[in-house]
Amino acid sequence: MAITRGFTGRRRERDERLPPGQYDAKDEWPVLHVEATPRIDTATWTFGIDGLVDTPTTWTWDELHALPSARYAGDIHCVTTWSKFDMTFDGVSLDTLLEIAGPQDDAAYAMASSSTGYTTNLPIEDITDGKAWIVWDADGEPLPEIHGGPVRMLVPHLYFWKSTKWVSGLRLMSHDEQGFWERNGYHDRGDPWLEQRYQGD
């Protein structure tokens, strides 16, 4: 381990909820997307699941809101080293949507895509069994545009670039393909507790 001369670090009291290399952003919620923030009209926005499913399905804003609602309460972690504790997000569980679409047996990976063309890849185990949501409220308020509003994906046990802002679709695949950041050197899975920031971690 290469010690940096003279460095001791300031944050000596580590909150056990912080994965390695992360810090508590407290009241800040930093914004780190690379596209222009899009303006999305909920009257025309849709979310679709296709690929290796029995019933490719597209939902409108109203149709998603008619489904059983689900909440995530907990922490989020961004690869740029901030974490936020005790957030709440409201929306619908991806399990509910996948149950309708019916993943086929050979569906092993998913590619989430955004209205901006942004993509990110996820193993199917990381978006099933209560691990992933499509959300429109954060801390009880409509999700702001800069944080992916009106609607984003939420996969909070992975680094937050996996939680696609302005999500518009999910494609199930038999093989892994890299999304936007993954092609640009970021890790394919992105588990903050294993500090999987970059390819090779």
Partner 1 sequence: MTNPWQEATVLDVRHETPNAKTFRLRLPDPRTHLAGQYYVVRLTAPDGYRAQRSYSVASMPGGGEIDLTVELFPEGEVSGFLHEVVAPGDTLEVRGPIGGFFAWAGDTPILGVAGGSGVVPLMSMLRHARAIGHPERMRLIVSARRPVDLYYADEVVGPETTVVYTRQAPPGDPRPVGRLTAEDLTPLLAGPPRTVFVCGTPGFCDTATDLLIGLGVETEKIRVERFGPT
| CA atoms of 151 and 178, how far apart (whole Å) | 23
Phi, psi (5° rounding) for residue 99? -60, -35
**Residue 176 C-beta: closest distance to partner 1, Å:** 16
Q: Is beta strand 141-142 parallel, antiparallel or unpaired with respect to 109-114?
A: unpaired
CA atoms within 13 A on the CB side of 31: 12
CA atoms within 13 A on the CB side of 175: 1
3-state helix, strand, coil in the chain (%, to 5): 15, 30, 55
Q: How far is CA 195 from CA 78, 179, 188, in A?
A: 11, 19, 12
**Residue 170 C-beta: closest distance to partner 1, Å:** 22
Q: Residue type at 67?
A: L
Residue 4 vs 55, nearer CB to partner 1? 4
**Residue 82 C-beta: closest distance to partner 1, Å:** 5
Residue 35 vs 99, nearer CB to partner 1? 35
Residue 10 vs 175, nearer CB to partner 1? 10
Binding region for partner 1 (CB under 8 A): 1-12, 20-21, 23, 25, 30-38, 78, 80-82, 116-117, 146, 180, 183-185, 198-200
**Residue 4 C-beta: closest distance to partner 1, Å:** 4
Residue 31 vs 100, nearer CB to partner 1? 31
Residue 12 vs 175, nearer CB to partner 1? 12
Residue 116 vs 128, nearer CB to partner 1? 116
**Residue 20 C-beta: closest distance to partner 1, Å:** 7
What sections of the chain are H helices per DSSP?
Answer: 61-65, 94-101, 180-183
| CA atoms of 194 and 68, how far apart (whole Å) | 33
**Residue 149 C-beta: closest distance to partner 1, Å:** 13
